[in-house]
Chain A
Amino acid sequence: MIPVGFEYSRPDTVDAALALLAEHGEDATILAGGHSLLPVMKLRLAAPEMVIDIGRLAELNYIRVDGDEVAIGGVTRYRDLVISGVLAAECPLLPAVARTVGDPQVRHRGTLGGSLAHGDPASDLPAAVLALGGTVVLRSPRGTRSVPITEFYTGVFSSVKEPDELVVEVRVPRTGTAGWAYEKFTRRSNDWAIVGVAVVDGRVGLVNMGSTPLRASATEAALAEGRSVEEAAALADVGTEPPADNAGTPEYRRHLVKVLTRRALTTAAGISAPGA
């Protein structure tokens, strides 16, 4: 439970962080909140030679309205999402999802950019941003580019982000009063989701139903065609490849995602759930 030795650096600016990242390449890793990185380092499943701590970069910690979108800095903490007045008014799904992550200690450390960059398909925020149709802003010494979240992930813990790139910003649409809901299903309150379903404005993002966060495209299409919530939810597992682990079989997850999608769509539509 003691990591392999490593160098640690805490640059003062994004530019300095990018320069370090460029210098060390794949030997370096970015530390933001550390709640995904440090456990794997302690278990010696990761052994970076250089740890670049960006967690205190104030220039990456913000939430502001920018045109039709809300722009959120990469190291904005879950806790900041939870208490944000801007998000409460403009994009209420995001604080609601952030509130379900881990426990208060985790929420005070973990960052939005860190969660998206890490790319754990069992994490909540990537699927929420996916449901929102957000954008990931990547920066490197080579410049800045924006990648739609739908094109960001390539597999478990992997994305199109290059080793010299940093997630500096996440942009999500201002969904305002559009119906939204998040159904997170866990054994214990601070567990990862066995399955999670984020719904906003007719779009559906799925947690832990495959190697990346997924959109329930068949459900979305059914909704767009005007089919009922029940009919649409019954298609939530189409195109998914749910994992098998202690918490659930693929068969169970396929069942569960339909139940949770129905509940989330029902809540999002402002209908009181039957039997609730």
Chain B
Amino acid sequence: MPVIRGIVSPAMSILGTRVVRTEDPVFLTRGATYTDDLTDERLTGALHLTLVRSPLAHAKITSIDTEAAKAAPGVVAVYTGADLDLEPALLFPAANKAMLRPFLATDTVRYVGEAVAAVLTEEHWQGEDAADLVEIDYDPLEAVIDLKKALSDEVLLFPEAGTNSVTSMHLGKDDPGDEFFADCEVVITREITNQRVAAAPLESRAASAYWGDDGRCTIFCSTQNAQSARDEVAGWMGMDAKNLRLILPDVGGGFGAKIGADPEFALVAAFSKMAGRPVRWNESRSENMTGMVQGRAQLQTITIGGDRDGKVKAYRLDVIQDAGAYPRLGVVLPMFTRMMASGTYDIPKVWSTAQVVATTTTSTAAYRGAGRPEATQAIERAMDLFADEIGMDPAEIRKINVIKPEQFPFTTKGGAEYDSGEYAKAIDLALEASDYTGLRAEQEARRKRGDAVQLGIGVSSYVEITGGGAFVENATVEVHADGTVTVLTGTSPHGQGHATAWAMLASDELGIPIDKITVIHGDTDLIPKGAGTMGSRSLQTGGVAVHNAAAELVDLAKQRAADLLEANVDDLEIDKETASVVVKGVPGSKSVPLAELAAAEELKVFHEWDGKKPTFPFGAHVAVVEVDVESGKATVERIWAVDDAGPILNPLIFDGQRHGGIAQGIAQALLEEVVFDPDGQPLTATFADYGIPSAAELPSFDLVTMETPTPVNPMGYKGIGEAGTIGSCPAVQNAVIDAVSHLGVSHIDMPLTPVRVWTAIDAAQKEASK
């Protein structure tokens, strides 16, 4: 297997080696310390917050009676919106300015699970009893669930907005219309759904707050980015961010849904001030399944046109994005979807629009991939539909249309500037690894025999954006007199292994072993700046910052050692065996340990790295599924993944990200969907109903290595956090449809559950027998 190394590392470099994660022993034995596990003395005597949440999707609140609740055992206070000194907030700047979210609903509720009242109790368990006693009268309004109906504005969520439209992108502006496809021999159009999914991290949302005598507030919370969450909460509370400190204990997964602050963080801080005591909050799983932001939720219309020789000439993507009740980060998803609409392909004409609409459901935001998987799913379905129509192999049509290596850097019609890639090669690697030709032969044999269990083969080619949101990140590296090192990072690991990875980067420069290096994150007093961990950004921003800071620290050490060693700075280097500054090429000469320099004077470097651009990881997946055509059940048998994110820092962590990513992609393809009934009641609010997979539903993953560096940063790194999800999901959907395409099925919406697959087969066969 060809391996392209971006960086020629010294023979003994720790970079690129399979270092076991230093954080794992604690996670795997005594367990981590999550926000709700904290026994910090500053939270002594804390009250417990329980929120009373709306059981209706859309209703007027006609009365709230808290008297009985106030008299319940352990209750210290019961608050409603009328008690709050928090103004309703616009949770995403680009949203319709009238779509403000109250921190506790006062007049109207707009989704099941919206907070209406708050109960503070001495003990956690007393909260639900008291919450049951808060009497709220509702006057039901019509729920708004269907996206097209929402766009009709028949029922408005925010009458003062005059529309349910949150924002729109390029709608009606220079729309090319049917002319766009005039020169195409074949044009196919199809509406497809990229269904709403729940992140469902193991640790649900949590926050605790206390106010110091100095008037400063400290919030311990679970988020993916302490610094921006601090700024958000400060904004909501109308206070100076300097007076707010966020501290992140261990964070048990986020997947995008913990980006930024949740309104509950401000509630915890506000109630702590009002009650004059610390306040703790940790939502239940039931609350999490309606209260935490959800992902995807796009209705897409894809139109693809081209010639029978396989050349795609025009592609159009029209997106309706479900924002949920109160627009949040979901508003931005279609921006990424539009930017990445044409995927890995060089398509002469590309047009896209997006309409974001509010519905009486849980708000939407980022979920592993955040806008890019939606683009990939659409174009990869479109390529298969086109291939099916002209009778061409799906792998072949992709290779005909992908951008060629000599075309980089390549600017897409959507405005993305692809940095580096070898898309056809990734496809070839996946085809070769999977014995694609052999798989097709097996498929043909099963079709000829009419087996109950048919084989499906799905191909995906993908490119995505990492580090797309924030290009700047900082790191501080300090060597101490005892020879240990502290690394402060503005990234915010919640499963990604930064404690190990950042230590490896520092160790490689300093020659100090990783067990002497401590990585600290997520305390806004210690690390006032930082953009956190999301969008697979951390390595190419925060990791590069650590590398650069450590390299600068070596330069500083050499300058200080020059006098002591009576040598020119240029003649000095770090001896990585001893973590000492030595004279180059003079074995046994005098040396100065870094620790000794640190003992004499603080040896510390702050570095801020600005990559200025995102990077574009890419790859190709081949999925093989078996579909029992009698029952409709699809099972993923194998998946071969080529995921190229530049040079690999730690293959163990890299592959772990791919495993988790692929699992979530398969899960969306086959199992997961957040469902609301027409009244807006969630039907998937428990893990019995919501289709999170277990290991039993997943195959072993076949990972193929490919490393193409980016020119965007000195290490050549791109991000790997979301690639697996983006590549696997379309490969699996395509595979399932491929398994039953000979029965007349051309498309099935996700999740490809047994009932959906069987219904599609049944409908196709009824159609055929007409």
Across the interface, which residues of B come within 8 angstroms of A1, CB to CB?
Answer: 128, 284-286
What interface size band does chain B fall in? 35 or more
Binary contact track B752-770/A, C-beta < 8 Å → 1, others 0: 0111001100100000000
A103: B residues at CB distance < 8 A: 694
Pick from B272-280, B449-457, B523-531, B613-621 the stretch touching chain A: B449-457
The interface residues of chain A lying within 8 Å CB-to-CB of B759 are 249, 252
A:155-185 near B, CB below 8 Å = 185
B693 at the interface (CB under 8 A from A): yes
B125 on the interface (CB 8 Å rule)?
yes
- Interface stretch of the complex, out of A8-16, A20-28, A127-135, A186-194: A186-194
Q: Which residue of the partner chain A has the closest CB to B667?
A: A188
Stretch of B28-36, B683-691, B740-748 that contacts chain A: B683-691
In the assembled complex, the CB of A60 is this many whole angstroms from the nearest CB of chain B, namely: 28
A46 interfacial by beta-carbon distance below 8 Å: no
Judge whether A246 and B285 touch: CB under 8 Å: no
B697 sits at the interface (CB 8 A): yes
Interchain CB contact under 8 A, A190 and B755: no
What B residues does A43 contact at CB under 8 A?
286, 686
Q: B754 touching A187 by the CB < 8 A rule? A: yes
CB distance from A271 to the nearest CB of B (A): 14
B754-A275 in contact (CB<8A): no
> Does A44 contact B132, Cβ atoms closer than 8 Å?
yes
Distance of B69 from chain A, by nearest CB (Å): 15
Q: B696: which of A4, A190, A194 is its contact (CB, 8 Å)?
A: A190
- A44 & B128 in contact (Cβ 8 Å cutoff): yes
Q: What is the CA–CA distance of A203 and B167 in the complex, to the nearest angstrom?
A: 61
What's the Cα separation between A140 and B565 when bound, in Å? 94
Interface string of A30-53 (1 = CB under 8 A from B): 000000000100011000000000
Instruction: Determine if A89 is an interface residue (Cβ-Cβ < 8 Å).
Output: no
Of the candidates A2, A5, A190, A248, the one whose C-beta lies within 8 Å of that of B694 is A190
Interface residues of B in 107-157 (CB under 8 A from A): 124-125, 127-129, 132
Whether the Cβ atoms of B631 and A185 lie closer than 8 Å is: yes
Q: A2-B125, A43-B286, A246-B675 are in contact. Are A188 and B755 (CB under 8 A)?
A: no
Which B279-314 residues have a C-beta within 8 angstroms of A?
Answer: 284-286
CB nearest to B124 among chain A residues: A2
Q: With an 8 A cutoff between CB atoms, is A238 at the interface?
A: no
Q: Which of B127, B453, B691 lies at the interface centre, i.e. has the most chain A CB atoms within 10 A of its CB?
A: B691
Q: Does B286 contact A188, Cβ atoms closer than 8 Å?
A: no
Residue among A39, A44, A188, A259 facing the most chain B CB atoms (10 A cut-off): A188
Residue A221 CB within 8 A of the other chain: no
- Please name all residues of chain B whose beta carbon is closer than 8 Å to the beta carbon of A39 when the two chains form the complex: 686, 688
Inter-chain contact B689/A246, CB cutoff 8 Å: yes
**Which chain B residues lie closer than 8 Å to A189 at the CB level?**
694, 696-697
Q: Which of B615-646 contact A (CB under 8 A)?
A: 630-633
Any B CB within 8 A of the CB of A117: no
The reply to whether B693 and A188 contact each other, CB–CB distance below 8 Å, is yes
Question: How far is B284's CA from A185's CA once the two chains are assembled, in angstroms?
Answer: 30
Question: In the complex, what residue of chain B is closest to A253 when comparing beta carbons?
Answer: B755
A247 touches B (CB below 8 Å) = yes
Residues of B with C-beta under 8 A to A44: 128, 132
- In the complex, chain B residues 442-467 whose Cβ is within 8 Å of any chain A Cβ: 449-453
B116 to chain A, nearest CB (A): 17
Q: CB of A226 within 8 A of chain B?
A: no
Q: Is the CB of B452 within 8 A of A276?
A: yes
> Does B671 lie at the interface of the complex (its beta carbon under 8 Å from any beta carbon of A)?
yes
Given A4-B129, A275-B452, answer yes or no on A246-B683 (Cβ-Cβ < 8 Å).
Answer: yes
* Complex-state Cα separation, A241 to B700, whole angstroms: 39
Q: Who on chain B is nearest to A191 by CB? A: B688
Are B631 and A249 neighbours in the complex by a CB distance under 8 Å?
no
Q: Is A255 an interface residue (CB 8 A)?
A: yes
A256 close to B (CB within 8 Å): yes
- Indicate if the CB atoms of A247 and B753 lie closer than 8 Å: yes
Q: Are B754 and A274 in contact (CB under 8 A)?
A: no
Q: For B696, what are the chain A residues with a Cβ–Cβ distance below 8 Å? A: 188-190
B739 to chain A, nearest CB (A): 14
How far apart sit A246 and B753, CA to CA, in the bound complex (Å)?
Answer: 10
Interface pair B631/A188, CB less than 8 Å apart = no
For B285, B693, B697, the residue with the greatest tally of chain A CB atoms inside 10 Å of its CB is B697
Are B754 and A185 interface neighbours, CB within 8 A?
yes
Is the pair A252, B758 in contact by a Cβ cutoff of 8 Å? yes
Chain A residues, Cβ within 8 Å of B453: 275-276
Q: In the complex the two chains form, what is the Cα distance from A191 to B696 in whole Å?
A: 11
Beta-carbon contacts under 8 Å, A235-276 to B:
246-249, 252, 255-256, 259-260, 274-276
Q: Which of B285, B449, B697, B758 contacts A255 (CB 8 A)?
A: B758
User: Closest CB-CB distance, B176 to chain A, in whole Å?
Assistant: 40
Q: A44-B128, A188-B694, A189-B697 are in contact. Are A275 and B451 (CB under 8 A)?
A: yes
Q: State A259–B452 Cα separation when bound (angstroms).
A: 11
Known: A189-B696, A247-B755, A274-B452. A256 touches B671 (CB 8 A): no
A185: B residues at CB distance < 8 A: 631, 633, 754
Closest CB of chain A to B287's CB: distance in Å? Answer: 8
Separation of A188 and B667 alpha carbons in the complex (Å): 11
Write the chain B residue with the least CB distance to A262: B630
The docked-state distance in angstroms from the alpha carbon of A255 to that of B765 is 14
Which residues does chain A contribute within 8 Å of B450, judged by CB atoms?
275
Q: A249 contacts B697, CB within 8 Å?
A: no
Task: State whether A2 touches B755 (Cβ < 8 A).
Answer: no
* Per-residue interface assignment for chain A, residues 108 to 138, with 1 indicating a CB less than 8 Å from any chain B CB and 0 otherwise: 0000000000000000000000000000000
B251 → chain A closest CB, angstroms: 21
A247 to B633, CA, bound (A): 12
User: What is the bound-complex CA distance between A44 and B686, given in angstroms?
Assistant: 14
Task: State how many angstroms separate the Cβ of B524 from the closest Cβ of chain A.
Answer: 31
Contact A194 B449 (CB under 8 A): no
Min CB distance, B296 to chain A, in Å? Answer: 17
**Which one of A4, A188, A260 contacts B691 once the chains associate, using CB atoms below 8 Å?**
A188
Q: Are A194 and B754 CB-contacts (below 8 A) given A256-B631, A275-B449?
A: yes
User: B755 to A248, Cβ gap below 8 A?
Assistant: yes
Which chain B positions have C-beta within 8 A of A4? Answer: 129, 132
Docked complex Cα distance between A5 and B125 (Å): 9
Residue of B whose beta carbon sits closest to that of A260: B631
Contact B697 A188 (CB under 8 A): yes
Which residue of chain A has its CB nearest to the CB of B453?
A: A275
Closest to A255 in B: B758
Nearest Cβ in chain B — how far from A54, in angstroms? 25
Chain B residues within 8 Å of A276, by CB: 452-453
* Given contacts A1-B285, A188-B671, A252-B755, A246 and B684 within 8 Å (CB-CB): yes
State the Cβ distance, B295 to closest chain A Cβ, in Å: 19
For the complex formed, measure the closest distance between the CB of A118 and the CB atoms of chain B, giving whole angstroms.
15
Complex Cα distance, B689 from A192, in Å, reads: 10
Chain A residues near B688: list those with CB within 8 A. Answer: 39, 191-192
Question: Is the Cβ of A187 less than 8 Å from the Cβ of B630?
Answer: no
List 11 contacting pairs A-B, 8 Å CB cutoff, sorted by A. Answer: A2-B284, A4-B132, A39-B688, A188-B671, A188-B693, A189-B694, A189-B697, A190-B696, A249-B759, A252-B632, A274-B452
Point out residues on A near B: beta carbons under 8 Å.
1-2, 4-5, 39, 43-44, 103, 185, 187-192, 194, 246-249, 252, 255-256, 259-260, 274-276
Q: Which residues of B pack against A, CB within 8 Å?
A: 124-125, 127-129, 132, 284-286, 449-453, 630-633, 671, 675, 683-684, 686, 688-689, 691, 693-694, 696-697, 753-755, 758-759, 762
Nearest 8 interchain pairs by C-beta? A1-B284, A189-B696, A275-B452, A275-B451, A248-B755, A252-B755, A259-B630, A2-B128
